[in-house]
């Protein structure tokens, strides 16, 4: 941010950032390393939580997929099996008719009956006669050859029928087995696909799904191990970061206390307190489990003991606006080398002070302003004279409404306003005093 105000200094989060900045690169590097591990740990915990949340559904699905795969595998399906079974069932269901008709046809073709000659014999006799006639007229040769071939084919058909009839025999058990097998196939088709091929394709899909589900189970184990390793790494870094912060805190509180003494804030003590919050699911270190976040396990709070014998208390509870501004000024002075905020605003930093204290505050404001812009709202001439630029803020009423006017001051306007701050009225003496203060602050050209 490009703007800072003393009041945020009372916030623990701001105080933590200030302490880490004071600790320098060593603390900030540890903090970045911890934050990186913590983010990875948080992501792994979230992923594991999602997996565990779905654990019951995944287990149910694994059981179902395995059952379906086992059911399909137990059937031992073959892509062409159903058509063969259907043909066999038709043959077994119509066995008697097949036996009767093939026997009748065999007899008609090969044996004859009821005084009628066999068809094969009739064709053979006709072929013999045609062959004889072809000797008289060659035009009958083709017909004779065709008829002779037909006689041969009829005999072959009769042989096929004979062999077919010989292998036909009633087998109720075979028909029952075929029907049972077809019922199994029909049940699988009803559940998993319109054809055997579709059922087998569905089984492949189930295998792929099962692999994915089992991979999820494996991922749960991987994440559990990963989280344990990250927690161990995070705990080690948190302990290292805490130690570095304690070292920085000791130095910071001594430096700020010295600054407060220079600001004539009496025998007050500035304390940097680091604490941890117990948590059952926190990071395990130093014999306990502690709540953690991206910044580690430490809670930092700046405390102030304004009077002798008083225990240190949080800034927001013990410091007035003016005191808080002066504490902020002291902290800013100490952090000047590491604080990157380009503009600082101080309000009420002059509250309840005057004389030597006001001069000390003014000098420190000017020192801070050497490295960054400082905006101070003040009613004290000692503070105002130290500024490089002045703005006069006045409040008034216009058409029944309150208005605020801001006007830049330069030259004699600035001298006159400093004089008013000194005595409330303009006299030769107050104007001379104002010029003297400006000369002390800026050299020989106070009205520039």
Q: What are the pLDDT digits (tens) for 365-392?
A: 888 888 788 888 888 888 888 888 999 9
Helical (H) or strand (E) element with 392? strand 390-398
Q: 107, 110, 130: which is closest to 120 by C-alpha?
A: 110
**What average pLDDT does this structure show over 61-67?**
93
Confidence tier at 6 by pLDDT (50, 70, 90): very low
The pLDDT value given to residue 73: 93
Confidence tier at 399 by pLDDT (50, 70, 90): confident
Min mean pLDDT across 128-142, 267-281, 348-362, 422-436 is at 348-362
Confidence tier at 226 by pLDDT (50, 70, 90): very high
> Please, what is the end-to-end C-alpha distance for the chain in angstroms?
32
In whole angstroms, give the CA distance from residue 119 to residue 440. Answer: 147
In whole angstroms, give the CA distance from residue 154 to residue 148. Answer: 10
Query: What region, left, alpha or beta, does residue 425 occupy, with left being phi > 0 and alpha being psi -120 to 50 degrees?
Result: beta
Confidence tier at 7 by pLDDT (50, 70, 90): low
Encode burial over 189-223: b for 16+ CB neighbours within 10 A, e otherwise. beebbeebeebbebbeebeebbeeeeeeeeebeeb
Asked if 419 and 426 touch (Cβ cutoff 8 Å), the reply is yes
Tokens of 45: 């915990």
pTM confidence score = 0.58
Mean pLDDT of the chain: 86
Tell me, what DSSP letter sits at residue 10? G
In whole angstroms, give the CA distance from residue 218 to residue 216. Answer: 5
The pLDDT value given to residue 337: 66
The pLDDT value given to residue 103: 81
CA-to-CA separations, 289 to 40, 65, 282, 299, 408, in angstroms, rounded: 19, 42, 5, 14, 58
Residues 6+ apart with CB under 8 A from 12: 299, 300, 301
pLDDT by residue (tens digit) across 164-202? 887 877 777 888 888 899 999 999 999 999 999 999 999
The pLDDT value given to residue 216: 76
The pLDDT value given to residue 235: 96
The pLDDT value given to residue 117: 84
Q: In what order do the strands lie in the sheet with 269-275?
A: 269-275, 299-305, 313-314
Residues 6+ apart with CB under 8 A from 365: 329, 346, 349, 374, 376, 383, 386
In whole angstroms, give the CA distance from residue 277 to residue 292. Answer: 8
Residue 408 has pLDDT above 60, yes or no: yes
Asked if 333 and 369 touch (Cβ cutoff 8 Å), the reply is no
In whole angstroms, give the CA distance from residue 286 to residue 290. Answer: 9
Tell me, what DSSP letter sits at residue 354? -
Residue 322 has pLDDT above 70, yes or no: no
SS3 443: coil
In whole angstroms, give the CA distance from residue 188 to residue 397. Answer: 90
The pLDDT value given to residue 321: 66
The pLDDT value given to residue 115: 66
**What average pLDDT does this structure show over 248-271?**
85
The pLDDT value given to residue 70: 95
Confidence tier at 443 by pLDDT (50, 70, 90): low
Asked if 251 and 18 touch (Cβ cutoff 8 Å), the reply is no
Helical (H) or strand (E) element with 367? helix 355-369
**What average pLDDT does this structure show over 292-304?**
94
Min mean pLDDT across 88-97, 108-117, 257-266, 437-446 is at 437-446
The pLDDT value given to residue 320: 66
Confidence tier at 66 by pLDDT (50, 70, 90): very high
In whole angstroms, give the CA distance from residue 436 to residue 446. Answer: 8
In whole angstroms, give the CA distance from residue 270 to residue 112. Answer: 130
The pLDDT value given to residue 204: 94
Min mean pLDDT across 146-160, 187-201, 208-222, 234-248 is at 208-222
Q: Which residue has the higher pLDDT, 399 or 389?
A: 389
Q: Which residue has the higher pLDDT, 114 or 59?
A: 59
Q: What secondary structure does DSSP assign to 277-335, as a single string?
A: -EEEEEEEETTEEE--BTTBS-EEEEEEE-STTPPPEEHHHH--HHHHHHHHHHHHHHH
Confidence tier at 311 by pLDDT (50, 70, 90): confident
The pLDDT value given to residue 1: 38
The pLDDT value given to residue 319: 59
**What average pLDDT does this structure show over 61-82?**
91
Residue 421 has pLDDT above 70, yes or no: yes
């Amino acid at each position: 941010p490009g703007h800072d105000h003393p009041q945020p200094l009372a916030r623990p989060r701001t105080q933590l950032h200030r302490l880490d900045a004071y600790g320098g690169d060593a603390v900030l590097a540890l903090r970045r390393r911890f934050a990186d591990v913590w983010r990875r740990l948080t992501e792994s915990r979230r992923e594991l939580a999602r997996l565990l949340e779905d654990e019951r559904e995944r287990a149910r699905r694994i059981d179902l997929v395995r059952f379906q795969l086992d059911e399909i595998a137990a059937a031992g399906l073959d892509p062409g099996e159903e058509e063969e079974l259907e043909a066999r069932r038709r043959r077994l269901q119509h066995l008697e008719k097949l036996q009767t008709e093939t026997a009748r046809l065999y007899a008609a073709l090969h044996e004859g009956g009821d005084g009628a000659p066999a068809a094969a014999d009739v064709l053979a006799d006709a072929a013999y006669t045609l062959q004889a006639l072809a000797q008289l007229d060659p035009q009958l040769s083709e017909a004779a050859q065709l008829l002779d071939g037909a006689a041969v084919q009829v005999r072959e058909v009769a042989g096929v029928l004979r062999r077919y009839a010989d292998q036909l025999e009633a087998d109720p058990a075979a028909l029952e087995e075929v029907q049972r097998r077809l019922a199994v196939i029909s049940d699988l088709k009803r559940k998993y696909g319109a054809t055997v091929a579709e059922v087998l394709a569905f089984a492949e899909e189930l295998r792929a799904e099962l692999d994915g589900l089992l991979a999820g189970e494996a991922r749960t184990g991987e994440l559990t191990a990963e989280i344990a390793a990250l927690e161990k790494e995070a705990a080690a870094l948190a302990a290292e970061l805490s130690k570095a912060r304690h070292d920085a805190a000791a130095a910071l509180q001594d430096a700020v206390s010295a600054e407060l003494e220079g600001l004539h804030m009496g025998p007050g003590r500035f304390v940097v307190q680091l604490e941890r919050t117990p948590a059952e699911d926190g990071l395990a270190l130093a014999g306990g489990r502690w709540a953690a976040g991206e910044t580690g396990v430490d809670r930092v709070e700046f405390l102030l003991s304004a009077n002798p014998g008083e225990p240190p208390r949080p800034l927001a509870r013990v410091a007035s606006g003016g005191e808080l501004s002066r504490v902020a000024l002291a902290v800013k002075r100490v952090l000047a080398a590491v604080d990157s905020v380009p503009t600082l605003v101080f309000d009420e930093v002059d509250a309840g002070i005057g004389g030597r204290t006001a001069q000390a505050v003014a000098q420190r404001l000017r020192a801070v302003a050497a490295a960054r812009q400082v905006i101070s709202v003040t009613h004290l001439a000692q503070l105002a004279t130290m500024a490089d630029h002045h703005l006069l803020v006045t409040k008034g009423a216009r058409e029944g409404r309150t208005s605020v006017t801001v006007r830049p001051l330069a030259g004699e306007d600035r001298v006159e306003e400093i004089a008013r701050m000194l005595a409330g009225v303009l006299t030769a003496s107050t104007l001379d005093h104002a010029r003297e203060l400006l000369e002390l602050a800026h050299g020989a050209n106070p009205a520039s």
